[in-house]
Amino acid sequence: MNRLAVETATDFCSVALEVNGEVRVREEHAPRRHAELLVPWMRELLADGGIDFADLDALVVSRGPGGFTSLRIGLGVVQGVALAHELPVYPVSTLSALARSADPEGAVEHVLAVLDARMSEVYAAWFRTVPGGRELIGEEQVGPPSELVAPHRGPWLAAGSGMAVHGERIEQAVGDLLSHRRPDAWPDARSLLLLAESVEPVNAWQLEPTYVRDQVTDR
Protein backbone atom coordinates (compact mmCIF):
# COMPACT_ATOMS: atom_id res chain seq x y z
CA MET A 1 0.00 0.00 0.00
CA ASN A 2 1.36 3.40 -1.05
CA ARG A 3 -0.25 6.36 0.72
CA LEU A 4 0.63 10.04 1.00
CA ALA A 5 -0.64 12.08 3.98
CA VAL A 6 -0.80 15.88 4.28
CA GLU A 7 -1.30 17.92 7.47
CA THR A 8 -1.48 21.71 7.06
CA ALA A 9 -4.36 22.70 9.35
CA THR A 10 -2.09 24.38 11.92
CA ASP A 11 1.24 26.23 11.97
CA PHE A 12 2.91 22.81 11.83
CA CYS A 13 3.34 21.58 8.25
CA SER A 14 3.77 17.83 7.87
CA VAL A 15 3.86 15.34 4.99
CA ALA A 16 4.28 11.56 5.30
CA LEU A 17 4.68 8.90 2.63
CA GLU A 18 4.03 5.23 3.31
CA VAL A 19 5.48 2.78 0.77
CA ASN A 20 4.85 -0.87 1.57
CA GLY A 21 4.82 -0.19 5.30
CA GLU A 22 7.88 2.08 5.38
CA VAL A 23 7.11 5.69 6.34
CA ARG A 24 9.12 8.78 5.39
CA VAL A 25 8.30 12.21 6.84
CA ARG A 26 8.99 15.88 6.17
CA GLU A 27 7.73 18.32 8.79
CA GLU A 28 8.45 21.69 10.34
CA HIS A 29 6.84 24.34 12.50
CA ALA A 30 6.43 26.79 9.62
CA PRO A 31 3.70 29.43 10.05
CA ARG A 32 2.53 30.83 6.70
CA ARG A 33 5.00 28.69 4.72
CA HIS A 34 2.71 25.78 3.89
CA ALA A 35 2.27 26.80 0.24
CA GLU A 36 6.04 27.11 -0.13
CA LEU A 37 6.90 23.76 1.45
CA LEU A 38 4.07 21.38 0.68
CA VAL A 39 4.51 20.37 -2.97
CA PRO A 40 8.34 20.25 -2.88
CA TRP A 41 8.17 17.99 0.17
CA MET A 42 5.66 15.74 -1.54
CA ARG A 43 7.90 15.40 -4.58
CA GLU A 44 10.99 14.80 -2.43
CA LEU A 45 9.29 12.01 -0.50
CA LEU A 46 8.02 10.36 -3.65
CA ALA A 47 11.50 10.51 -5.20
CA ASP A 48 13.04 9.05 -2.04
CA GLY A 49 10.46 6.27 -2.08
CA GLY A 50 11.13 5.51 -5.75
CA ILE A 51 7.54 6.13 -6.83
CA ASP A 52 5.43 8.83 -8.49
CA PHE A 53 1.94 10.20 -7.88
CA ALA A 54 0.59 7.61 -10.31
CA ASP A 55 1.88 4.82 -8.05
CA LEU A 56 -0.14 5.96 -5.03
CA ASP A 57 -3.11 3.94 -3.83
CA ALA A 58 -4.68 6.64 -1.64
CA LEU A 59 -4.26 10.07 -0.11
CA VAL A 60 -4.87 11.10 3.49
CA VAL A 61 -5.49 14.69 4.58
CA SER A 62 -6.33 16.68 7.68
CA ARG A 63 -9.93 17.92 7.23
CA GLY A 64 -9.90 20.45 10.07
CA PRO A 65 -10.72 22.24 12.16
CA GLY A 66 -7.78 24.60 11.82
CA GLY A 67 -6.55 27.78 10.22
CA PHE A 68 -8.73 28.78 7.28
CA THR A 69 -5.93 29.50 4.80
CA SER A 70 -3.49 26.78 5.84
CA LEU A 71 -6.24 24.15 5.98
CA ARG A 72 -7.42 24.96 2.46
CA ILE A 73 -3.87 24.81 1.08
CA GLY A 74 -3.55 21.17 2.09
CA LEU A 75 -7.05 20.24 1.00
CA GLY A 76 -6.63 22.00 -2.35
CA VAL A 77 -3.35 20.27 -3.18
CA VAL A 78 -4.66 16.85 -2.15
CA GLN A 79 -7.86 17.36 -4.11
CA GLY A 80 -5.86 18.28 -7.22
CA VAL A 81 -3.66 15.19 -6.98
CA ALA A 82 -6.67 12.97 -6.28
CA LEU A 83 -8.55 14.30 -9.29
CA ALA A 84 -5.55 13.94 -11.59
CA HIS A 85 -4.86 10.34 -10.58
CA GLU A 86 -8.36 9.16 -9.58
CA LEU A 87 -7.33 8.43 -6.00
CA PRO A 88 -9.55 8.00 -2.94
CA VAL A 89 -9.02 10.47 -0.11
CA TYR A 90 -9.25 9.71 3.61
CA PRO A 91 -10.24 12.92 5.49
CA VAL A 92 -9.09 12.71 9.12
CA SER A 93 -10.01 15.06 11.96
CA THR A 94 -7.19 17.42 12.89
CA LEU A 95 -8.12 17.06 16.55
CA SER A 96 -8.01 13.26 16.30
CA ALA A 97 -4.54 13.53 14.77
CA LEU A 98 -3.48 15.83 17.61
CA ALA A 99 -4.71 13.36 20.23
CA ARG A 100 -2.82 10.57 18.47
CA SER A 101 0.45 12.50 18.15
CA ALA A 102 0.31 13.68 21.77
CA ASP A 103 0.04 10.10 23.07
CA PRO A 104 1.12 7.74 20.27
CA GLU A 105 1.24 4.65 22.47
CA GLY A 106 -2.23 5.15 23.92
CA ALA A 107 -0.78 5.21 27.43
CA VAL A 108 -3.25 7.84 28.65
CA GLU A 109 -6.91 6.95 29.05
CA HIS A 110 -8.39 10.40 28.35
CA VAL A 111 -7.15 13.16 26.04
CA LEU A 112 -8.30 16.74 25.56
CA ALA A 113 -7.09 17.90 22.14
CA VAL A 114 -7.16 21.68 22.05
CA LEU A 115 -5.98 24.02 19.28
CA ASP A 116 -5.74 27.79 19.30
CA ALA A 117 -8.60 29.08 17.13
CA ARG A 118 -7.66 32.76 17.39
CA MET A 119 -10.32 35.32 18.38
CA SER A 120 -9.72 34.22 22.02
CA GLU A 121 -11.20 30.79 21.28
CA VAL A 122 -10.05 27.19 21.02
CA TYR A 123 -11.02 24.17 18.97
CA ALA A 124 -11.47 21.29 21.38
CA ALA A 125 -12.39 17.62 21.45
CA TRP A 126 -12.47 15.09 24.28
CA PHE A 127 -11.33 11.50 23.60
CA ARG A 128 -11.30 8.23 25.52
CA THR A 129 -8.86 5.43 24.75
CA VAL A 130 -10.62 2.25 23.60
CA PRO A 131 -9.33 -1.04 22.18
CA GLY A 132 -7.83 -0.28 18.78
CA GLY A 133 -7.75 3.50 19.11
CA ARG A 134 -9.61 6.49 20.51
CA GLU A 135 -13.26 7.42 20.63
CA LEU A 136 -14.58 10.98 20.43
CA ILE A 137 -16.76 11.93 23.39
CA GLY A 138 -19.52 14.29 22.26
CA GLU A 139 -18.67 16.61 19.35
CA GLU A 140 -15.78 18.77 18.22
CA GLN A 141 -16.36 22.30 19.49
CA VAL A 142 -15.11 25.86 19.35
CA GLY A 143 -15.43 28.53 22.01
CA PRO A 144 -13.72 30.42 24.82
CA PRO A 145 -11.28 28.20 26.74
CA SER A 146 -12.86 29.34 30.00
CA GLU A 147 -16.08 27.58 28.95
CA LEU A 148 -14.54 24.12 28.50
CA VAL A 149 -16.43 21.51 30.47
CA ALA A 150 -14.98 18.01 30.84
CA PRO A 151 -17.47 15.19 30.17
CA HIS A 152 -16.19 13.45 33.32
CA ARG A 153 -13.37 13.77 35.83
CA GLY A 154 -10.78 11.94 33.76
CA PRO A 155 -7.93 12.56 34.60
CA TRP A 156 -7.04 14.19 31.26
CA LEU A 157 -3.98 14.80 29.14
CA ALA A 158 -4.42 18.28 27.62
CA ALA A 159 -2.44 18.69 24.40
CA GLY A 160 -1.98 21.21 21.63
CA SER A 161 -1.45 24.87 20.82
CA GLY A 162 -4.56 25.76 22.77
CA MET A 163 -2.62 24.89 25.92
CA ALA A 164 0.40 26.87 24.74
CA VAL A 165 -1.66 30.02 24.05
CA HIS A 166 -4.55 29.74 26.53
CA GLY A 167 -3.08 27.47 29.18
CA GLU A 168 -3.96 29.70 32.12
CA ARG A 169 -7.63 29.95 31.13
CA ILE A 170 -7.86 26.21 30.45
CA GLU A 171 -6.27 25.51 33.82
CA GLN A 172 -8.90 27.71 35.47
CA ALA A 173 -11.67 25.80 33.70
CA VAL A 174 -10.53 22.19 34.09
CA GLY A 175 -7.09 22.33 35.71
CA ASP A 176 -7.91 20.10 38.66
CA LEU A 177 -8.82 17.34 36.18
CA LEU A 178 -5.54 17.51 34.23
CA SER A 179 -2.84 14.96 34.95
CA HIS A 180 -0.56 15.70 31.97
CA ARG A 181 0.05 18.68 29.71
CA ARG A 182 1.54 18.68 26.19
CA PRO A 183 1.43 22.30 24.92
CA ASP A 184 4.17 21.34 22.44
CA ALA A 185 2.09 18.68 20.66
CA TRP A 186 0.95 19.18 17.06
CA PRO A 187 -1.16 17.06 14.70
CA ASP A 188 1.14 15.41 12.16
CA ALA A 189 0.97 13.44 8.94
CA ARG A 190 2.27 10.22 10.48
CA SER A 191 -0.76 10.25 12.79
CA LEU A 192 -3.02 10.79 9.78
CA LEU A 193 -1.69 7.60 8.20
CA LEU A 194 -2.39 5.66 11.37
CA LEU A 195 -5.93 7.04 11.64
CA ALA A 196 -6.89 6.71 7.98
CA GLU A 197 -8.57 3.34 8.33
CA SER A 198 -10.90 4.76 11.00
CA VAL A 199 -12.67 6.99 8.45
CA GLU A 200 -14.49 6.37 5.19
CA PRO A 201 -12.69 7.46 2.01
CA VAL A 202 -14.31 10.00 -0.30
CA ASN A 203 -13.93 10.93 -3.94
CA ALA A 204 -11.89 14.04 -4.67
CA TRP A 205 -14.95 16.16 -5.52
CA GLN A 206 -16.55 15.24 -2.20
CA LEU A 207 -13.65 16.55 -0.11
CA GLU A 208 -14.77 19.35 2.22
CA PRO A 209 -13.09 21.17 5.12
CA THR A 210 -14.52 20.99 8.63
CA TYR A 211 -14.37 24.45 10.18
CA VAL A 212 -16.52 23.80 13.30
CA ARG A 213 -17.15 27.53 13.69
CA ASP A 214 -19.75 29.02 11.33
CA GLN A 215 -17.82 32.23 10.70
CA VAL A 216 -14.27 31.88 9.42
CA THR A 217 -11.67 34.50 8.66
CA ASP A 218 -8.47 34.40 6.63
CA ARG A 219 -5.62 33.72 9.00
For the stretch 198-216, pLDDT in tens is 999 999 999 999 999 764 4
**What's the number of domains the chain is made of?**
2
The pLDDT, as a whole number, for residue 215 is 45
Band of residue 132 on the pLDDT scale cut at 50, 70, 90: confident
Which CATH number belongs to the domain containing residue 25 in this structure? 3.30.420.40
Query: If you average pLDDT over residues 78-98, what whole number do you get?
Result: 98
pLDDT at 218 over 60: no
Which residue, 73, 53, 49, 45, is CA-closest to 61? 73
Q: What is the C-alpha separation between 88 and 200, in angstroms, rounded?
A: 10
pLDDT at 214: 67
Contact 161, 11 (CB under 8 A): yes
**39 pLDDT exceeds 50?**
yes
Please name every residue paired with 19 in a beta bridge, in sequence order, or none if there are none.
2, 22
Residue 100 lies inside a defined structural domain of this protein: yes
Residues 137, 169 within the same domain: yes
Residue 107 pLDDT > 80, yes or no? yes
The domain in which residue 173 lies consists of 95-182
139 and 192 share one domain: no
Q: Is the peptide bond before 65 cis (omega within 30 degrees of 0)?
A: yes
3-class SS letters over 84-153: HHCCCEEEEEHHHHHHHHHCCCCCCCEEEEEEECCCCCEEEEEEEEECCEEEEEEEEEEECHHHCCCCCC
Q: What is residue 170's predicted lDDT score, i.e. its pLDDT?
A: 98
**Whether residue 100 is found in the same domain as residue 168:** yes
Percent residues over pLDDT 90 in the chain: 95
Pairing relationship of beta strands 133-143 and 58-64 according to DSSP bridges: unpaired
Tell me, rounded to whole angstroms, the distance of Cα 90 from its chain centroid: 12
Is residue 122 assigned to a domain?
Answer: yes
pLDDT at 180 over 70: yes
